[in-house]
Copies of this chain bind each other. A is one copy, B any other.
Amino acid sequence: MNIKPPAEPGMAFSDIDTPSLVVDLDAFERNLEIMAARVTEAGVRLRPHAKTHKSPWVALQQIARGAVGICCQKVSEAEIMVDGGVHDVLVSNQVVGAAKLDRLAALNQQAQVAVCIDHIDAVAEIAAAAANQNVIINTLVEIEVGGGRCGVAPGVAALNLARAIADDKHLHFAGLQGYHGKAQHFRGLNERRDAIAEATRLTAETVELLAQDGLACEIIGGAGTGTFEFEAASGVYNELQAGSYAFMDADYARNRDADIFEHALFVCAAVMSRPNQQTAVVDAGHKAASIDSGLPVPWGLAGSEMSGMSDEHGVIDITTVNEKPARGDKILLIPGHCDPTVNLHDWYVGVRGLHGADACVETVWPVAARGALF
């Protein structure tokens, strides 16, 4: 049994079923335009991360505005993107295991699908898959620039991997991946700037070391919505991988005051209970909105605050709210973190004029790569 869409094109906002994932199409399009302009001004390329939206429909809109391709985190995500018409994908992640690598190689028969490594054994593993499928796989070295996750040390260790890639006839050395994930969420502007300055320094040194060995980096990739201005201005990074800018979320909004991006993604919930004057309970809980970066924030309900969530309930404190919502009223929630929230839903509901009186569903499209974990 598949999950049916919670709305149809032409429907009034009030008729959208809840809880559902609603996109403010106007804000979304402005976000895409602004980022496109920023990267053009900076003279760098944009390869937005599709782990945020998991949708070829969104990816193609980004590409139509100048993005060179997209990033994915999983081979199964890449498969769905290629199936949806995307021709240039970077799996900005390690891929381990012969079965996954064989799928990655097979996908390279249809599109250009690059991958990252951070271990010498990966060279032979990926090369075997490439040989098996008779393709050449673009391979990047992921360096650890402060994120504390994957990645080989910058410098000589990275050079050794790059050289091994370049020396393998089934692989093509395509550059460096230097993403600082943690820095995206540092609250202070200076903290973010300093972190990316250090990441840039490590990356630049490695680029230089590789150049001395005759290895050119076509892609020097990294950056997210929290720091992209710094990588854009670094003179080192040439491909930015931000994803959340398209939608924005409550966590990024806490970083980026007076931000250039607008909230374009909401969980549309309905009040299912008003047990007392202080409380509105909505029908969206952990299964409709992720809380790994904090609780969702109610939109346009001044004085309200989410006080808790359980699996299928969200509890909103409305003690100081003047016009208190009633049973059945819809409340838009800004997700704490857009990526894992999107992944909970099967459908996007695209609304034109969302915050106006004539809000109308313009389009409904699938979260095509939802659950693409493999």
- B residues in contact with A53, CB < 8 Å: none
**A270-284 contacts to B (CB < 8 Å):** 270-275, 281, 283-284
- B residues in contact with A315, CB < 8 Å: 148-149
Contact A273 B313 (CB under 8 A): no
**A371 beta carbon closer than 8 Å to chain B:** yes
Distance, CA A40 to CA B20, complexed state (A): 41
Contact B6 A374 (CB under 8 A): yes
| Contact with A121, one of B100, B310, B327 (Cβ below 8 angstroms) | B327
Q: Nearest CB to that of A99 among chain B residues?
A: B17
Pick the interface stretch among A24-32, A212-220, A286-294. Answer: A286-294
| Contact with A149, one of B73, B95, B96, B313 (Cβ below 8 angstroms) | B313
**A350 beta carbon closer than 8 Å to chain B:** no
Contact B373 A19 (CB under 8 A): yes
Distance, CA A96 to CA B100, complexed state (A): 44
Pick the interface stretch among A160-168, A234-242, A254-262, A340-348. Answer: A340-348
**A363 beta carbon closer than 8 Å to chain B:** no
- B residues in contact with A271, CB < 8 Å: 96
- B residues in contact with A345, CB < 8 Å: 371, 373
Interface string of A306-339 (1 = CB under 8 A from B): 0011111101000000000001100000000101
**A170 beta carbon closer than 8 Å to chain B:** no
Contacts A344-B343, A371-B344, A373-B288 given; does A1 touch B96 at CB 8 Å: no
Interface string of A51-91 (1 = CB under 8 A from B): 10000000000000000000001101001100100000000
Query: Which A residues lie at the B interface, using CB under 8 A?
Result: 1, 3-4, 6, 17-20, 51, 73-74, 76, 79-80, 83, 93-97, 99-100, 118-119, 121, 144, 148-152, 181, 270-275, 281, 283-284, 286-288, 290-292, 308-313, 315, 327-328, 337, 339-340, 343-346, 368, 370-374
Going nearest first, the 9 A-B pairs with the smallest beta carbon separation are: A150-B273, A286-B340, A73-B312, A94-B272, A3-B371, A96-B272, A287-B343, A311-B339, A286-B292
